[in-house]
Structure 1
Amino acid sequence: MNGTPTPNSNEAPAIVTEQLTKRFGSVVALDGFSLAIAKGQIFGLLGPNGAGKSTTIKILTTLLDASSGSARVAGFDVARSPVEVRRRIGYVPQLLSADGALTARENLDLSARLHGLHGARRKERVQEALAFAGLGNVADHLVRTYSGGMIRRLEVAQATLHHPEILFLDEPTIGLDPMARKTVWERLEQLCQDHQVTILITTHDMEEADVLCDCLAVLHEGRLAVVGKPEELKSQVGPGADLNDVFAHFSGAVIEHGGSYRNIRESRSAIRRLG
């Protein structure tokens, strides 16, 4: 990604997992996952449905307890200090987090209140978020009238109102057209460059992974198959390889490939049901 600050090797990683494991009965969704993500990176998790990507995100955002192993986010153990972790992160899930019955301004104002922002500070952050999302001219329109790209920009703005150190996004551009997708990428790059936010995304979009991510990890059946920069991973597969080849080589799978408010809600709901 152009313009990304170079991580300082002397700094503690933004995210560290050690033998992180999650079991659902007899099913092992995550199996001994160990990884360190440097501060200031956009880091991508790749893998087929059921590989453990969303499970990893949920554990790191304190929404799910690990069965064993440990994880530290922004220097805090997710199991022992979940409140401290939540104060320092933003999270944009696959499912819609913006309320279609409210305006963008109302959605942002509600989020700001939930983050403990009050008075003039809250109004300032809301205006800042509207500008960041490029929604100033439609701030008082109902979100249900927005396109999918506008909704996603609003959701990113909601998740960063409190200036988090780390931002998690589960399938950030699912269902978006190419122009809307590019605009979301630009907003994420801006966050990373201007505010040194560490960003962790899951994606099935290999172009997104190649263009946006500084480093990638491929998960296969809950285990870490490989980690490295996009160009390094392509070179490991062979001359002329692209990230589709990397995905197939390390995960043993082929990528399976929305809009209005309804379109984006339905596409994300379908992805959720598929795991």
Structure 2
Amino acid sequence: MENRAPSIKNSQTHKNYFKEPNGKIIVEKIFIMGIIFASMTPLVFADVYIQNDQQYVGDDGSVHIVGEIVNNLDIPLNQINVEIDLFDENQQLIQTQKTNSLVNTIMPGMKGPFDLILTDNEAKNAKSYSLLLNYQASPPKSQVIDITESSLTRDNHNNLMITGTVVNNGEITANTISVIATLYDKQGNVAAVSKANPKPDYLGSEDSAFFVLSVPDKIQTEGIDEYTLIAESEEYAAVPEFPVGTVILLILTLSAYIGITRYSGRIITNLFSATNLK
């Protein structure tokens, strides 16, 4: 069964609902879970959505619409595509195009970028766009394809390149391995994306391979130094990674849990006092 999730830029609404706690143990659990969710969930209360999207014109004059798809469901997704409506300055529909996620299977809690490339003159007149996300549930995959190291450099012609090593930690051969890079600008939007296959594009169990990713748009990637990488194969998905900030927050969460366990009566009393200030 196909799912369709519309996304119109700058049109999200957020609502929060809270229930009054009933008893000391419940309050402790809510307090602990509140810290965990605050450290690990984004401020968009949706299960599958598009974020950090933008439109730009590449060095070759082609129009790009890029962004990333976030899967906050507890199941993997595949057959993922983005339907994009382009509008002129009078909000009249110019054309509708589709593009696929560069990541074939987006695992729970992970992201997949997309890049729609248009070369016709009609698309260059587009002043705005809307996005519609289509996806299906996927069978689970073991998350064992890992990128163990990477670096971003530029060659003598100022072309941006990302190099690194990908490894198969699974028990069987991984076929058709691909590495996908998402680059971000200073505002946190997706600046560019790129996809490449290491040579060879198959790896036996515990084998590794070197990869090179190039990004041709020099103007778009000028000053860019933040990026994420994800790798997958036909059989396996990428190893999930936690940002440094998330790790720190998880450590603070553990400290908070220890504090609550030892001093729960004092903390809960203070919580009620703080939430009932006049």
* Greater fraction strand: 2
Report which of the two structures shows the higher radius of gyration computed on alpha carbons.
2
TM-score range, shorter chain: under 0.3
Q: Which structure carries more relative contact order (alpha carbon 8 Å, separation 6+)? A: 1
